[in-house]
Structure 1
């Protein structure tokens, strides 16, 4: 065996254990947990009463315009009438509206929908500016608090209370262990006082 080959083998045998130790000590990339998957699903904004949308039907100027989702959860659209859109994503409504228009009204309709104004969320309690704020896709609890001017000095930083738009009661959130909590349109957040 040549001297250079022996030297190479010895160097390699020294490097392998240190590489293994480094990989053992470095943080592993975990597969997405169910909590992360739930957050990703939560990022899908669904329409509901109070949302304002702009509907563009390419080549059909008379149909293009701004529409407000009615209190019944409908999009009242010319030719088609009332379409139920509550709890549907913008993409789902685009497909449904294009299909409805293609059914004897418009040849090969191309529809684009944009949300112009989102329903707000509400934040109460120990924040500097409690009130109503516009929601955005993927808005977290921490971002919601930041938009309200941050916590007051009396705020309990470990707990928050969240009432979803369709719930009757608020739920306690343990902030550190809950992971990222996505705030949806119509939600009410309450930040309580800490006990001194």
Structure 2
């Protein structure tokens, strides 16, 4: 009976671990899409000529050896890795080992009723509350309930109302409205 209890606990632990790891992959930075201003490092192991650090252009492109101009805007890091592996495999390398990492995320912007409006470096885990802190806090006239965000990847540029604990993404434009009281 103890053996059954032991394996039952181990099975439950494995199931919980698998569930939480899947949640991290779905909601984590693996879904982060590249855009203009991101600084990335592409490393092809054993091929120093194909390793580079670069900032994506204003159109979200990159000129890469042998592959030409790559359009990266909207791609995830994993998709870019697969694109480079596929492009280099066969004609150029037998079995390319490629690693892509983000060295610096593009900025987010905050304006309106904050002490120091402007652009700030994005950091994973950033919320509206933390973004306001980076901008040295609210002004006396700030409305803490009328805060709007326009996401960088929203082609319609539609502002959506957010709360202080809402997440901030790279490239977001945050506006803190004025209070009428």
Q: Does 1:156 align with 2:143?
A: yes
For residue 168 of structure 1, report the CA deviation from its aligned partner: 4.7
Q: CA RMSD in A?
A: 2.5
CA contact (8 A) 1:124 1:189 kept: yes
Q: Quickly say closer, same or farther: Cα 1:42–1:65, change in 2 above 3 A.
A: closer
Worse-superposed segment, 65-74 or 75-84: 65-74
Q: Quickly say closer, same or farther: Cα 1:145–1:81, change in 2 above 3 A.
A: same
Q: Hey, which bits of structure 1, 4+ residues long, moved more than 6 A?
A: none
Q: Does 1:68 align with 2:55?
A: yes
CA contact (8 A) 2:149 2:162 kept: no
Q: Distance in 1 between matches of 2:178 and 2:93?
A: 58
Q: Which residue of 2 aligns with 1:183?
A: 168
Q: Does 1:195 align with 2:171?
A: no
Q: Does 1:123 align with 2:110?
A: yes
Q: Quickly say closer, same or farther: Cα 1:174–1:106, change in 2 above 3 A.
A: closer
Q: Distance in 2 between matches of 1:169 and 1:87?
A: 16
Q: Quickly say closer, same or farther: Cα 1:95–1:42, change in 2 above 3 A.
A: closer
Q: Distance in 1 between matches of 2:103 and 2:143?
A: 35
Gaps of 5+ in 1: 1-35
For residue 141 of structure 1, report the CA deviation from its aligned partner: 1.4
| Total equivalences in the alignment | 157
Q: Which residue of 2 aligns with 1:4?
A: none
Q: What is the TM-score with the length of structure 2 in the denominator?
A: 0.75
For residue 41 of structure 1, report the CA deviation from its aligned partner: 6.6
Gaps of 5+ in 2: 1-22
Q: What is the TM-score with the length of structure 1 in the denominator?
A: 0.70
Structure label with greater radius of gyration: 1
Q: Which residue of 1 aligns with 2:3?
A: none
1:1-196 correspondence to structure 2 within 5 Å: 40=27, 44-165=31-152, 166-173=154-161, 175=163, 180-196=165-181
